[in-house]
A and B are shown apart, each in its own frame.
Chain A
Amino acid sequence: MEIQLHDITKRFDELVAVNDLSMTIRDGEFLTLVGPSGCGKTTTLRMIAGLETPTDGIIEFGGEDMTYASPQERELAFVFQAYALYPHMSARKNMSFALEHTDISEEEIEQRISETASMLGIEEHLDKNPPALSGGQQQRVALGRSIVRDPEIFLLDEPLSNLDAKLRVKMRAELQQLHREIQTTTIYVTHDQEEAMTMSDRVAILNNGDLQQIDTPEVVYSQPANRFVAGFIGSPSMNFLDCRFEESSGTIQTDAFTIEAPSEASGDITTLGVRPEELTIVPTRDGDFSAEVTVFEQIGAYNIIHLAVDGLDEGIVAQVDGSKHFDAGDTVGVDIDPKHVHLFDANDEAVYNPPLASEESTALV
């Protein structure tokens, strides 16, 4: 089922939670709404579910206007952050409750529950009440309650945020697999950019009620539309340095160093953005500039170093191979590949982004 939002605005008294939002979620797509808390992502999801009514705008499901339809009429499924399982009913009853009200036969309900339960691995827990289940099991029952209804639209509101880190990664993979199996239009809300990047067909980034960018994970990562998206997507975050663009010499100048500008660069450029993984640590004499290591973070697969650069007020962060080790106080050289920088104008809009990795590799072939 395709979902279309046309100029949706939601105000709570003075507060504008969602501002003139328009987007189309394609049939069968897995779309993630991501942004910091208070960005309007949950409000958007709740408007799609019918739990909130937009102040302005139109919501359409498959071309049909559903703006003022009740949640009951929308026939979609919603997984809540705190699961919202009925505590006085067994897991089985939680799953069957909504079906009992339809004309689906009892045998069919039984069959759907046992199929879903085995898919989610909760067969042994069907007769327990939610308070007797662990967080992960409750999560699965909440998913199961939605799946058995075989909905056309699946809405998930931060469903993994109450789980511990290990279980979160596991459930992330399970949800992706689940989506592949049931192929239902899915809208997933999270504040965790990593979840957004790993699970989605497309990611919509919101801030202060405004849509910043909507595109595939690869594009929002490599070609962020503006400085907010650039800083929000990716961990550790992109480094931002004040800079000037010298058109005559074709260079980008910061207070500490000058690099060659990408040939496509033009106009009023005020900020240089470089992802920590795009910085190369080299011997001091080879780099574009030298820096002192202030903090070394051993992660394992990769390591993170925090650097202080003479002439720069803010430190910069670089990501290095897991085999490389540095100590605080070491002096290193830093090399920047001019092709892999991001340039922003005074309004924080991107004026240059590097080409996508997928396009680069095709070019190489």
Chain B
Amino acid sequence: MSVTDVFATDQDGFPWEQIVRYVAVSLAALFVLVPLYWMVATSLKDPSQIGIFPPTLVPSPATVEPYFEAWETGPWGQWFLNTMLISGGSTIVTLAIATPAAYALARFDFPGSNPIYLLFLGLLMIPAQILLIPLYNLLSTLGLVDTRLGLILVYSTFFLAFSIFLLHSFMTNLPESLEEAARIGGIPEWKIFFQVILPLVKSGLTATGMLIFVFTWNEFLFALTFLKSEQLYTISVGLQSFQGIHGATVYNQLFAMSTLATLPVIILFALFSEQFIEGIAGLEMQ
């Protein structure tokens, strides 16, 4: 007997199945939202409400003071800008390389195309930490340690295989007759790529791009390793300063900056959610 049989509407017509679904979804939502709520709530508390037991669930009084105090602790404007440049740069560089590569692998049967694709898939299995030291070596040889460009290249390397894998799935899903129709129409290959293929994998590009952007926005280990100068820090590296400089962690300020750091990602998602979901759904349909 399957789960749905057990919870299917019984003879009285009681909607068991519906209830179970709602409870499951609510639990999942709670799981995600509680830490988020805790972050925002703590960022609005004054120091007297922090670290006490039992904890106060709702900040009272609520104050935005921690936001102003936190903003003064470091060059946050610069750090936000750095993060924006590095995440945006990594997303653009990765997509610019991965998209044509995925198209070539998905559509052109050239010698070695299959082994090359399998190699990319294999790269996905290598843990990032293992690449940390070789990449550091390579970048210091190139004189790119402690530069934004260096970190952009590192992130792009790291995300290339993943992006090729995702975009490859989107492209193999497109009917080949579209390109064939264009070829017969006398349209050159580059124009087919830009005007037929790219517009049709837009949702796939958006989904891939957002995954790269969000991951690099939050990334800590590589940023900490490759960035030395304080003025080049990203937000995630900057946030750890709340631990170091002041001895004990100043939770309300840490969470205030964390909340601010989360906002751009949420705004981005709100702007592109439709295409993002369409993209992910497109993958699932395969």
Contacts and interface: CB of A to CB of B under 8 A. Distances in A.
Interface of A: 49-51, 70-72, 74-78, 80, 82, 84-88, 97-98, 101-102, 145, 149
Contacts of A76: 184
A78 B180 contact: yes
Interface string B236-274: 000000000000000000000000000000000000000
**Chain B CB within 10 A, most for which of A72, A80, A149:** A72
Interface in B29-87: none
Interface in B188-202: 188, 191, 195-196, 199-200
Contacts, number: 59
A101 B182 CA distance: 11
Interface string B169-183: 000000101101111
Contact of B196 (A50, A70, A71, A86): A86
23 contacts: A50-B183, A50-B184, A71-B184, A72-B183, A72-B186, A72-B188, A77-B184, A78-B180, A80-B177, A82-B175, A82-B177, A84-B180, A84-B181, A86-B178, A86-B196, A87-B200, A88-B200, A97-B185, A97-B187, A101-B185, A101-B187, A101-B188, A145-B185
A70 B181 contact: no
B186 A98 contact: yes
Contacts of B182: 86, 97-98
Given A82-B175, A84-B177, A84-B178, A51 B188 contact: no
**Chain A CB within 10 A, most for which of B175, B183, B185:** B185
Contacts of A70: 183
Contacts of A88: 199-200
B181 A80 contact: yes
Per CB-CB distance, the 7 closest pairs between chain A and chain B, nearest first, are A98-B185, A84-B177, A71-B183, A84-B181, A78-B184, A88-B199, A71-B184
B196 A80 contact: no
Given A87-B200, A97-B185, A101-B191, 20 more contacts: A49-B184, A50-B183, A51-B180, A71-B180, A72-B188, A78-B180, A80-B177, A80-B181, A84-B175, A84-B177, A86-B182, A88-B200, A97-B182, A98-B186, A98-B187, A101-B187, A101-B188, A145-B181, A149-B185, A149-B186
A34 to B, nearest CB: 21
Given A80-B177, A84-B178, A88-B199, A101 B183 contact: no
Interface size on B, as a range, is 10 to 19
A82 B196 CA distance: 17
A76 to B, nearest CB: 7
B127 to A, nearest CB: 39
Nearest to A78: B184
A98 B175 CA distance: 19
A85 B182 CA distance: 10
A73 to B, nearest CB: 8
Given A72-B186, A72-B188, A149-B185, A80 B199 contact: no
Contacts of B183: 50-51, 70-72
A221 B188 CA distance: 44
Nearest to A88: B199
Nearest to A75: B186
A85 B191 CA distance: 16
A82 B176 CA distance: 11
A302 B65 CA distance: 92
Contact of B181 (A75, A78, A101, A102): A78
B177 to A, nearest CB: 4
**Chain B CB within 10 A, most for which of A101, A102, A149:** A101
**Chain A CB within 10 A, most for which of B181, B188, B191, B199:** B181
Contacts of A50: 183-184
A84 B179 CA distance: 9
A72 B187 CA distance: 7
A25 B229 CA distance: 75
B24 to A, nearest CB: 35
Contacts of B195: 97
B111 to A, nearest CB: 16
A253 B178 CA distance: 57
Nearest to B195: A97
B220 to A, nearest CB: 39
A70 B188 CA distance: 10
B187 A80 contact: no
B109 to A, nearest CB: 12
A86 B186 CA distance: 15
Contacts of B175: 82, 84
A145 B187 CA distance: 13
A74 B188 CA distance: 13
Interface in B116-159: none
Nearest to A71: B183
Nearest to B196: A86
B278 to A, nearest CB: 13
Contacts of B191: 101
Contacts of B181: 78, 80, 84-86, 145
A97 B183 CA distance: 11
B107 to A, nearest CB: 13
Contacts of A98: 182, 185-187
Contacts of B188: 72, 101
